[in-house]
Structure 1
Amino acid sequence: MTTGTKRKVLVLLGPTAVGKTRLSLELAEAFGAEIISGDSMQVYRGMDIGTAKISEGEMKGIPHHLIDIHDPGDAYSTAEFQEQGTRLIEEISRRGKLPFIVGGTGLYIESLCYGFRFSEAVADEAFRSEQDAYAEEHGAEALHARLAAVDPVSAERLHPNDRRRIIRALEIHYQTGVPLSEDLAGQTKESPYELCLIGLTMDRKKLYKRIEERIDQMLAEGLVAEVQGLLERGYGRSLVSMQGLGYKEIAAYLEGETTLEEAVVLLKRDTRRFAKRQLSWFRHMKEIQWIDTLESPDHSETFAIIEHRIAQTFAKSE
């Protein structure tokens, strides 16, 4: 799977609930691919329902990588994802298979596709403790506002509850004087790979309806029990994993801070906002070939269009 010295890499990205999983399996079968998950939450074991994680039975025998590789108590970073993804692309290519990145975590996917270098700002525990204390006293929104004041682009991308990444962005600005977003924007956009990036999209109202239906399905499948089990095993709400969509809202309900109805309303609202942020992130990736999954009522026609685009893109590089 090489072109000169460059490895071919297929990428399927898009917002939550747009339909990536089904298409990824069909494309993997058609192109002889192994899937690398580009999702920051599916790395965690025991967090299945709330992350819409594919089950082993649904994988159709297609190898999936970077799923269930950490306990919820472990931290997982963009740099670690990039390192593991880079290794997997090489290993999969050497097996004669096509590396296929599928997911919705924009920074993860972009860092791997373009070989981003990461800030040399070192961990400053005193600074981090100070920001943590500020968040505890004044709330997540206040800490998020601090970031918005010095790096509005990163603040727009990060949810106010994503404390670890907000503090890291503040730390980078504090040490270097350069906003994280500016550093990322200045990175080279020449990929070390022969990329084919396919983006899935659909009418915003229809996407939001699918998001709400998915959340209802998660609740029916036992999301509340999943979160309860995590809390009972000692995975506290301050963990990065437990700040994920679906987990923080249900945990607040389970600890008596809100009703289940209120938690679900909040979860649906926050997930809609998350999808909007995902689309905003992907829109600046100029090489993406966008496909409206609802443009054709026939799924097989949509698949055929995508299959043709991929074949054309890789043929041009040969």
Structure 2
Amino acid sequence: MTTEIKHKVLVLLGPTAVGKTRLSLELAETYGAEIISGDSMQVYRGMDIGTAKITPAEMKGIPHHLIDIHDPQDAYSAAEFQVQGVRLIEEISARGKLPFIVGGTGLYIESLCYGFRFSEAVADEAFRSEQDAFAEEHGAEALHARLAAVDPASASRLHPNDRRRIIRALEIHHQTKVTLSSSHEAQKKESPYELCLIGLTMDRKILYKRIEDRIDQMLAEGLVAEVKGLLDHGYSRTLVSMQGLGYKEIAAYLAGETTLDEAVTLLKRDTRRFAKRQLSWFRHMKEIQWIDDFNEQNFSENFAKIRAIIAGKFLSGLEYTSEQSN
């Protein structure tokens, strides 16, 4: 994946609920950008509340790509995201706009930014079936422990419920005797793009409170009804999409396996853990300029910091529209 001219690509990343959406809209308006969603769940149609998906009205006319491109029964992968992202960066740049990747799925974003080569290990259906059967008999934690035994770094980044990715990591090690984490570390971390990576985080207690408030808001907006509608439509609980945070827990409640309070408590706990894993992944990425105290109260101050970061990184040839509009 090479280009004669390195296209400028702006990247905004951070854990769930940190406030990426509002900032991304402000930045996209300022710099004439088109947004490429770097979220592995927002690709699915009909999965809106549980993924905190931006609405068409909230987009303010700013083009958003890789949202609502798959039905829930169709699995989506980092490799597919990479192919589509490369194409979009070319197309957006050709229109004279700034490609702007926004999201929290670390593997997806890093694979696009640095042109990862994905493992050539082919699908071994017998091996996958064996691992699936093991998980069904012994539970998700036992399968996760299998991965931790051979590839602790990958295990630390994958939730025990992320069965598809856990089995893929095991499959790669089974076939190649090389761990997925070692493969990632061996990648050539030189980007084909001129990158400006901005990371958002905040005090952990504040972030966790925002996560819990967001989940309460999702419930108020109809998360239970959304999950019920998906199940009624025939989408199985075993689908990759239905294993996403919010969908798995509420589906268990609807099946009578837990109370709603128990499902919500589990969802809040697992989402906090997910945010921790997101930050762990991003902290291993290079060149990220971190805004560590991002919040609504200091939004203007941090927005000015971010503008300065972008100006210092690639102001040349990029219209600094916010200065012109002041």
TM-score, normalised by the number of residues in structure 1: 0.97
Task: Determine if contact 1:12/1:20 at 8 Å carries over to the other structure.
Answer: yes
Residue in 2 aligned with 1:252? 252
| Distance in 2 of aligned mates of 1:93 and 1:44 | 26
Residue in 2 aligned with 1:264? 264
What CA deviation, in whole Å up to 9, does each residue of 1:54-112 have, x standing for no partner? 00000000000000000000010000000000000000000000000000000000000
Residue in 2 aligned with 1:176? 176
Residue in 1 aligned with 2:99? 99
Residue in 1 aligned with 2:28? 28
Alignment map for 1:127-142 (pairs within 5 Å): 127-142=127-142
| Distance in 2 of aligned mates of 1:207 and 1:7 | 33
Task: Determine if contact 2:200/2:294 at 8 Å carries over to the other structure.
Answer: no
Task: Determine if contact 1:296/1:302 at 8 Å carries over to the other structure.
Answer: no
| Distance in 1 of aligned mates of 2:137 and 2:102 | 39
* Residue type at the aligned position of 2:256: G
Could you say what secondary structure the match of 2:54 adopts? Answer: coil
Identity %: 83
Q: Which runs of 5+ in 2 are unaligned?
A: 319-326
| Distance in 2 of aligned mates of 1:266 and 1:24 | 30
* Residue type at the aligned position of 2:218: M
| Distance in 1 of aligned mates of 2:317 and 2:207 | 34
Residues 315 and 236 (structure 1 numbering): CA distance in 2 closer, same or farther, change over 3 Å? same
Give aligned pairs, total.
316
What CA deviation, in whole Å up to 9, does each residue of 1:203-245 have, x standing for no partner? 0000000000000000000000000000001111110000000
Shift of 1:158: 0.7
Alignment map for 1:126-165 (pairs within 5 Å): 126-165=126-165
Shift of 1:296: 8.3
Residue in 2 aligned with 1:56? 56
Residue in 2 aligned with 1:110? 110
Q: Which runs of 5+ in 1 are unaligned?
A: none
Task: Determine if contact 2:34/2:64 at 8 Å carries over to the other structure.
Answer: yes
Residues 97 and 127 (structure 1 numbering): CA distance in 2 closer, same or farther, change over 3 Å? same
* Residue type at the aligned position of 1:204: R
| Distance in 1 of aligned mates of 2:200 and 2:32 | 21
Could you say what secondary structure the match of 1:83 adopts? Answer: helix
Could you say what secondary structure the match of 1:164 adopts? Answer: helix
Alignment pair present for 1:209 and 2:209: yes
| Distance in 1 of aligned mates of 2:20 and 2:93 | 22
* Residue type at the aligned position of 1:84: Q
Task: Determine if contact 2:203/2:293 at 8 Å carries over to the other structure.
Answer: no
* Residue type at the aligned position of 2:234: G
Residue in 1 aligned with 2:84? 84
Shift of 1:315: 3.4
Residue in 2 aligned with 1:121? 121
Shift of 1:294: 3.7
Residue in 1 aligned with 2:303? 303
Task: Determine if contact 1:147/1:166 at 8 Å carries over to the other structure.
Answer: yes
Residue in 1 aligned with 2:222? 222
Alignment pair present for 1:10 and 2:10: yes
What CA deviation, in whole Å up to 9, does each residue of 1:139-175 have, x standing for no partner? 1111111000000111111111111111000000000
Shift of 1:26: 0.3
What CA deviation, in whole Å up to 9, does each residue of 1:167-220 have, x standing for no partner? 000000000000000000000110000000000010000000000000000000
Could you say what secondary structure the match of 1:6 adopts? Answer: coil
| Distance in 1 of aligned mates of 2:182 and 2:147 | 13
Residue in 1 aligned with 2:197? 197
| Distance in 1 of aligned mates of 2:299 and 2:110 | 28
Q: For the aligned residues, what is the CA RMSD? A: 1.4
